[in-house]
Structure 1
């Protein structure tokens, strides 16, 4: 065992992966742990109603985040990874994507403004949506996670996120004292996002010599084409992730949405444990499949077994401990969140599997179009069953719809990977 560990640590590729996993775990850990410090405080101070309103606004803005991201978190990461020794090419990629994001962000702001002032459900609390939109500007336009990930240097973003997360946590306790202070939550979050975004722009110039150069029209069109299929897939995933909370909010009270959001937030915290591993491995698998496809396939199978085992055990443990977790973290007023969490937590197992099959498998091996079609199909399937299940079972029905959709994705991805002989 010791010899095996030494062999891994002496391998430069594995050392880089481990370093990035540690950095990303630090980032994701504090990204989720620090909000979990404020989570019990906010659920108690704001109550289910205001907590539900904030959740509804966040779900609404996530549609625009999906639109602005346009799949670049995967397509650009891969492109940067393949060209990371070429400073001029990296600058070209950064500049063209930045321009595309500005265009998409402007369109998003215009569409959001039209919607907010056209419907009473939005207009009655219009300022909440604009404060929440600030998070999108900082995190999606200015923060270049995809570039750091592609360069496999995530420790920079780790440090930035830790700093802003600490400031956010302290600010919540200072400024949010009662339910009427709920607007401070997205405002503080937006302010922190803008700061980290601006600092990251300075970092990529200093550390990677990335400069803004005026992109050609061909460069911009190229990025639109590269991100399109992955954008379609993220749009599809939005239909079964973001839409669940948003559609539920159209059918139920703010309080019921608050109960669902508590369960979803805790589930997301556990799903966050998957992300560092996935983000660190993706650039490695992307390179390896072009250099040594046989080894890439073997590594993929190993990752699938490990990820599946760990996430299954985690899901079972959390489901059994759900009553304790809800009471401890959210308070006794959120007892209705317990059965929702016991269902939703199994998305951790499903996401662990479909992340390996979809991102590390289909996308990294060049099957972006197939991956996109799967996610779009799943998104449409989710919306179809979601409305009916919400009408019949309320928030429990919403949780069942999400879990069913995630496992459907796993099955389809596995079948395709077997057909193309990757698994």
Structure 2
């Protein structure tokens, strides 16, 4: 069975790349295309995303779980793969046809059309198959190279009066290339089994069940930008896009953990080893909440310096938007662990669907009430309230099944540590002023302070995750380093 530790390292390496590249590109894009250009990119991408959403249904989660359960039987796994992919391909072709009609009649013209390659990618996206096999090295390796190549190209082609079109075309095209590259790796892993109409149709209903939460989640992660574009201005959409991008960068680490653990938990539950799965669940919750609290307090602390220094002149409006968006990070982390490592692997689709439908309803209602008056800030409050609602519903749905009170108590000290870091970096910002050196000092001092205070608490309290997980991993890393030296 693939190693969870290795898969997590592969995914973390890729997610760190995803975190670092936007850190470099965001200031460049903010200055080259401006708030309105960013708003145009954000709005047109969000529209194309809904066509991709239709093509994929709930296949990313459903296919991942299905392959994880059947991977010990190559024939059954192959049969299921071809059936699920046939359904995906048919829906993808329909999505491409209707997107072509939309883009050719859109007021955004060539910029809307540039996303056609992204929509076509929905036909060929089989990441879910390799995730189900827990072969993250395959997917991460090719994405790593493509992201680096796209990163270099961006500075070459995204410039001048057509910068927005060039950027959209680059992102759209690279997405298609990244999914096509996976197909040659299929040959050694599955055999050809002709899909039947009956076989394909058996996957429609379970996919639709998992499609409902995907659509609902999109209402408070993507629809915000569409609503901002219609109910406010493209400039406000640009402010929200930049703020959301920064607030979600660190969360990729938590997402990486969930991506790795979903197939492992599905396999453990299917093989009757739920007790082992619960041990993984406790460690995951501790890591996810610790990371989310560190980033939440950290970003809120540096926000007054980060927005004008990092994005450039004219982006001061991002400060309050950022501070509101990071409030949802701990709730997102808690819900992410429950969703990807318990609800979905255990087949508790009703609870998952209910939580995100409630979140979507809260978000849409908040957006309608707040966006006309507050613009990007209103969208930020809508997103935050939605994430809180999702988390609360999931917590209630699994009450009595998991030791959630214990998990909360184990992570409360991180709140005190984060608050101390927040005060320190805010004071440092007011002392040094709006400079690049200030931002660098805040990040360095804040990171060191959080790490030192956390270490002091963990060592003094004899925290079981520290003793059973972190220390052995650190000792193992040091030992390997010494052997190589």
The alignment's TM-score, normalised by the length of structure 1, stands at: 0.90
Q: Which runs of 5+ in 1 are unaligned?
A: 1-11
1:275-301 CA-to-partner distances (Å, cap 9, x unmatched) read 110111111211222312233334323
Kindly indicate whether the alpha-carbon contact (under 8 Å) linking 2:32 and 2:163 is maintained by their aligned counterparts in 1: no
Whether 2:343 is the aligned partner of 1:362: answer: yes
Kindly indicate whether the alpha-carbon contact (under 8 Å) linking 1:50 and 1:179 is maintained by their aligned counterparts in 2: no
Q: Which moved more, 1:217-226 or 1:299-308?
A: 299-308
Kindly indicate whether the alpha-carbon contact (under 8 Å) linking 1:68 and 1:101 is maintained by their aligned counterparts in 2: yes
Distance 1:358 1:422 in 2: 15
Q: Which residue of 2 aligns with 1:156?
A: 138
Q: Which residue of 1 aligns with 2:395?
A: 414
Q: 1:136 aligns with which of 101, 116, 119?
A: 119
Q: Which residue of 1 aligns with 2:165?
A: 183
Q: Which residue of 1 aligns with 2:426?
A: none
Q: 1:318 to 1:251 in 2, by over 3 A?
A: same
Q: Which residue of 2 aligns with 1:241?
A: 221
Distance 1:328 1:220 in 2: 53
Q: 1:82 aligns with which of 65, 69, 81?
A: 69
Larger Rg: 2
Distance 1:212 1:331 in 2: 54
Q: Which residue of 1 aligns with 2:469?
A: none
Kindly indicate whether the alpha-carbon contact (under 8 Å) linking 1:361 and 1:422 is maintained by their aligned counterparts in 2: no
Whether 2:287 is the aligned partner of 1:306: answer: yes
Give the C-alpha shift of residue 323 in structure 1.
2.6
Q: Which moved more, 1:226-235 or 1:210-219?
A: 210-219
Q: 1:309 to 1:341 in 2, by over 3 A?
A: same
Q: Which residue of 2 aligns with 1:4?
A: none
Moved >6 Å (runs of 4+): none
1:236-256 CA-to-partner distances (Å, cap 9, x unmatched) read 101111111110111122111
Q: Which residue of 1 aligns with 2:56?
A: 69
Kindly indicate whether the alpha-carbon contact (under 8 Å) linking 1:278 and 1:360 is maintained by their aligned counterparts in 2: yes
- Size of the aligned set, in residue pairs, is 403
Give the C-alpha shift of residue 87 in structure 1.
2.3
Distance 2:325 2:291 in 1: 17
Kindly indicate whether the alpha-carbon contact (under 8 Å) linking 1:27 and 1:157 is maintained by their aligned counterparts in 2: no
Q: 1:394 aligns with which of 369, 375, 392?
A: 375
Kindly indicate whether the alpha-carbon contact (under 8 Å) linking 2:89 and 2:124 is maintained by their aligned counterparts in 1: no
The alignment's TM-score, normalised by the length of structure 2, stands at: 0.79
Q: Which runs of 5+ in 2 are unaligned?
A: 405-485
Q: Which residue of 1 aligns with 2:45?
A: 58
Q: Which residue of 2 aligns with 1:351?
A: 332
CA RMSD of aligned residues (A): 2.0
1:292-331 paired onto structure 2 within 5 Å: 292-331=273-312
Kindly indicate whether the alpha-carbon contact (under 8 Å) linking 1:66 and 1:235 is maintained by their aligned counterparts in 2: yes
Give the C-alpha shift of residue 162 in structure 1.
1.2
SS of 1:332's partner is coil
Distance 2:33 2:102 in 1: 26
Q: Which residue of 1 aligns with 2:10?
A: 23
Q: 2:83 aligns with which of 84, 87, 96?
A: 96
SS of 1:418's partner is coil
Q: Which residue of 2 aligns with 1:263?
A: 243
